[in-house]
Amino acid sequence: MTKQFSSVWTRETRRPKAAGLTRDQIVTAALEILDAEGLAALSMRKLGSRLDAGATSLYWYVTNKDELLELVLDEVWGMLDSAEPGQAPWREVITTFAYSFRETLRTHPWAASLVGQLPSIGPNALRLTDRLRRAFIEAGFTGTDIYLASGSVISFVLGQVIPELAWTNAFGDAEPDREAMIDDIVAVAADYPEMIEEFRTTTQITPAAARAMAFDFGLCCVLDGLHARLRQRDRTHDSPTESALP
């Protein structure tokens, strides 16, 4: 069974009606609702009310809410920053992108759940994809490995940020009582004294600092792993009988 692929980007853009809204106005208003109230709060009716227009007038530009979210998601991709390949080493390009991606998702947390759920084939997404593509080509990746490497970095960022967003959603700006939390964890983990001691040490770091350290450590490991894969490939190519690097 197959499902028909559809996207707001694959159909012809309709011209604005005379004295009507523009698509940019619609996207800007949708972003404001999403940032203020979250994904569940966005509806075509609420958006129409914000723009002082009927919901039906919005359907001139988008056929459904998913198409609207595609437009908004592409705006998010356009917010990401990275160095230009060829003007900076590939690791700097990817590092800048990863940190920008993290901060953008933290600023617009609703966007994290849309990545992978909706097509990302808008102009900003394609521009970013090409920039990452050229960075990994410069690094030495070829063929499908270019996109696998890019996907690995994107998946790492999402894997780091989504639990952080869940924590923020649960506790907001308030942090749980650290001492009470430590006492509770020590009580249930009494059979693991070494883990308890390590836990006491790590909890001396603020949660924000711990998350920043974890992101930096993980990103370095991902990039080191990608670099090691290139070295392994090059060594295997030069000496086909040589065993792979550990």
| Sequence-separated contacts (24+) of 233-237 with Cβ below 8 Å | 234/140
| pLDDT average, residue stretch 160-170 | 91
pLDDT of residue 245: 42
> Domain 8-75 carries which CATH code?
1.10.10.60
pLDDT of residue 201: 76
> Would you say residue 186 has pLDDT above 90?
no
| pLDDT average, residue stretch 104-115 | 96
Q: Which architecture does CATH list for 81-238?
A: Orthogonal Bundle (1.10)
Q: Spell out the domain ranges in the chain.
A: 8-75, 81-238
d(CA 66, CA 48): 16
Determine what percent of the chain is predicted with pLDDT higher than 70.
93
233 burial type by CB count under 10 A (0-12 exposed, 13-18 middle, 19+ buried): middle
pLDDT of residue 170: 82
9 burial type by CB count under 10 A (0-12 exposed, 13-18 middle, 19+ buried): middle
Mean pLDDT of the chain: 89
pLDDT in tens, 35-62: 999 999 999 999 999 999 887 889 888 9
> Would you say residue 153 has pLDDT above 60?
yes
The pTM of the full predicted model, rounded to 2 decimals, is: 0.87
pLDDT of residue 246: 44
Fold identical between 8-75 and 81-238?
Answer: no
Better pLDDT: 148 or 195: 148
| pLDDT average, residue stretch 70-75 | 98
